[in-house]
Amino acid sequence: MSLKRTLTALPTLLRVGFSESLAYRAEMFIWVLSTTMPFVNMALWSAVAGGGEVGGYDRVKFVAYFLCTFIVRQLTGAWAAWQMNFEVRTGTMTMRLLRPLHPVVAYAMENLAATPLKVVVSLPVVAIVLLTVGREALAHDWLMWAVWPLAMIGSWLITFLANVCIGTLSLYMEQSLKLMDLWLAAFVVFSGYVVPVSLFPETLRAVVDWLPFRYQIGLPVELMTGVLGREAAVRLLVQQWLWVGVLMVLGHVLWQRGLKRFGAYGG
């Protein structure tokens, strides 16, 4: 399908995807409930800090960090791996392959179409952030906010492309969701989702900087809370987009080779 025809189809795909999100709003609500771990961590680390500090974080900074974590998590989630595994097992992937639109583009639009509902969920949390901690606990440097949208796009792309890579492996095996579970386990530990990356031991933090997980959550949140200097922010942003490139190439290779051995099972 030509680029022009693909771009023409995108608005329709987004409308259809948004309608599906509204139709399955109960599932969306369950998704929101399943991503409330930052609130638990906020209470835990705030209690640990008490009236003092832990690694430069006091109670207010922990509140700001984990509220921002919730926002980033809501806006950068993706579930393409589950879709792909289901469609390969049931044979409905064949129907996608017959359409004049690359299936990965369709998955991306379906995942992005839920963003308006996620924004509705996130806006009250934004208000809570401003009312609870004020501007003092958020970044004051304009550059952090200028590059934050780019970091958010990179965060979503890493999450989505990781889903695509793991989902594509279902073309090679019966299903690949166990690998997705391993990815999610590493994500929880190394992304900054349960503890700020800056609290990791220095040696471990150096390793985490070269893994993709920090760039899914940690980097956007650190930009919002102003814990990064300009040099570190630019360096991490470059490394984030290097991971986007790596996952794009890996996803393309896995997809092309997987299609050659694709066999649908079920009805």
Structural domain boundaries in the chain: 3-260
pTM of the complete model: 0.86
Integer angstrom CA distances of residue 178 from 30, 51, 164, 264: 21, 42, 14, 20
Measure the CA angle with vertex 69, ends 106 and 45; round to 5°.
150
* Contact (Cβ atoms closer than 8 angstroms) between residue 217 and residue 194: no
Per-residue pLDDT of the chain (267 residues; tens, 9 = 90+): 455 556 565 566 555 554 555 444 555 555 555 567 888 888 888 888 887 888 888 888 898 899 899 889 888 988 899 989 998 888 888 888 887 788 888 888 888 877 777 777 777 777 777 777 777 778 889 999 999 999 999 999 999 999 999 999 998 887 899 999 999 999 999 999 999 999 999 999 989 999 999 999 999 999 999 999 999 999 999 999 999 999 999 999 999 988 887 754 444
What pLDDT is attached to residue 167?
Answer: 94
What pLDDT is attached to residue 12?
Answer: 60
Q: Identify how many contiguous H helices and E strands the chain contains and give both numbers.
A: 13, 0
Give the ranges where 51-92 is alpha helix by DSSP (H): 59-75, 80-90
The one-letter amino acid code at 3 reads L
3-state secondary structure of 57: strand
What is the DSSP code (8-state) at residue 141?
A: -
Q: Taking Cα atoms as reference points, which of 72, 108, 94, 89 lies closest to residue 248?
A: 108
CA gap 147, 159 in Å, rounded: 19
Main-chain phi, psi angles of 54, to 5 degrees: -130, 110
CA gap 250, 215 in Å, rounded: 18
* Contact (Cβ atoms closer than 8 angstroms) between residue 141 and residue 226: yes
CA gap 107, 109 in Å, rounded: 6
* Contact (Cβ atoms closer than 8 angstroms) between residue 141 and residue 225: no
Contacts by 137-142, CB closer than 8 A, 24 or more apart: 137/60, 137/61, 137/63, 137/64, 137/225, 138/64, 138/224, 138/225, 138/226, 139/223, 139/224, 139/225, 139/226, 140/226, 141/226, 141/230
What pLDDT is attached to residue 264?
Answer: 44
